[in-house]
A and B are shown apart, each in its own frame.
Chain A
Amino acid sequence: MRLAGKRALVTGGRQGIGRAIAESFANEGATVTICGRGPRPEDLPAQFIWYTLDVTNADAVNELASTTDGTDILVNNAGVQVEKTVTESVDADWDAVIGTNCRGVFNLCRAFIPRMPGGGSIINIGSISGTAADPSMALYNASKAFVHGLTRSIAVDHGPKIRCNAICPGWIETGMLDAAFELADNPTAARRDALNRHATRRFGKPEDIASMAVWLASDEAGFATGQLFTVDGGMTAASPLNPGLF
Chain B
Amino acid sequence: MMLQGKTALVTGGRGGIGRAIVARFLREGARVYAADLTPHGSLAAHDDDGSHFVKLDVTQEVDAVAAMAQVNADAGQLDILVNAAGIEIEKTIEETSLEEWNLSFAVNVTGTFLTSKHALPLMRKAARAGTTASIINFGSYDGFIADPGLAAYCATKGAVHALTRAMACDHGPEGIRVNAICPGYVDTPMLQSFFTGEGSGAAGKSIDQLQQAVRDVHPMRTFGTPEDIANLVNWLASDEARYASGQLWVLDGGLSAQVQQMKL
B210 within 8 A of A: yes
Q: Is the CB of A246 within 8 A of B210?
A: yes
Q: How far is the CA of A183 from the CA of B200 in the complex (A)?
A: 29
B68 within 8 A of A: no
Q: Is the CB of A243 within 8 A of B213?
A: yes
Interface 9-residue window, one of A59-67, A104-112, A125-133, A207-215: A125-133
Q: Can you name the residue of chain B whose Cβ is closest to the Cβ of A180?
A: B264
Q: Is the CB of B145 within 8 A of A238?
A: yes
Q: Give the chain A neighbours of B201 by CB distance below 8 A.
A: 242-245
Q: Give the chain B neighbours of A236 by CB distance below 8 A.
A: 145, 259-260
A239 within 8 A of B: yes
Report which residue of A132, A180, A181, A184 has the largest number of chain B beta carbons within 10 angstroms of its beta carbon. Answer: A132
Q: How far is the CA of A237 from the CA of B213 in the complex (A)?
A: 21
Q: What are the interface flags for B197-212 relative to A under an 8 Å C-beta threshold, 1 for contact and 0 otherwise?
A: 0001110010001100
Question: In the complex, what's the smallest C-beta–C-beta distance from A237 to chain B, in angstroms?
Answer: 6
Q: Chain B contact residues (Cβ within 8 angstroms of A): what range? A: 20 to 34
Q: Is the CB of A243 within 8 A of B202?
A: yes
A197 within 8 A of B: yes
Q: Is the CB of A134 within 8 A of B259?
A: yes
Question: In the complex, what's the smallest C-beta–C-beta distance from B208 to chain A, in angstroms?
Answer: 12
Q: Is the CB of A193 within 8 A of B262?
A: yes
Which residue from A132, A135, A190, A242 sits with its C-beta under 8 Å from B256?
A: A132
Interface of chain A residues 196 through 246 with chain B (CB within 8 A): 197, 235-246
A194 within 8 A of B: yes
Which residue from B145, B257, B263 sits with its C-beta under 8 Å from A237?
A: B145
Number of chain A residues whose Cβ lies closer than 8 Å to a Cβ of chain B: 27
Q: Give the chain A neighbours of B217 by CB distance below 8 A.
A: 240-241
Q: How far is the CA of A129 from the CA of B255 in the complex (A)?
A: 14
Residues A238 and B148 in contact in the complex (CB < 8 Å), given A184-B263, A189-B263, A243-B200: yes
Q: Can you name the residue of chain A whose Cβ is closest to the Cβ of B209?
A: A246
Q: How far is the CA of A241 from the CA of B246 in the complex (A)?
A: 27
Question: In the complex, what's the smallest C-beta–C-beta distance from A72 to chain B, in angstroms?
Answer: 33
B155 within 8 A of A: no
Residues A197 and B264 in contact in the complex (CB < 8 Å), given A240-B255, A243-B202, A244-B200: no
Q: How far is the CA of A135 from the CA of B202 in the complex (A)?
A: 25
Residues A194 and B205 in contact in the complex (CB < 8 Å), given A238-B148, A241-B147, A243-B210: no
Q: Is the CB of B258 within 8 A of A132?
A: yes
Q: Give the chain A neighbours of B75 by CB distance below 8 A.
A: none
Q: What are the interface flags for B147-174 relative to A under an 8 Å C-beta threshold, 1 for contact and 0 otherwise?
A: 1100000000000000000000000000
Q: List 21 A-B contacts (CB under 8 A).
A: A132-B257, A134-B258, A134-B259, A135-B261, A184-B264, A236-B145, A237-B146, A238-B145, A238-B146, A238-B147, A239-B147, A239-B256, A240-B259, A240-B260, A241-B255, A242-B148, A243-B194, A243-B213, A244-B200, A246-B202, A246-B210
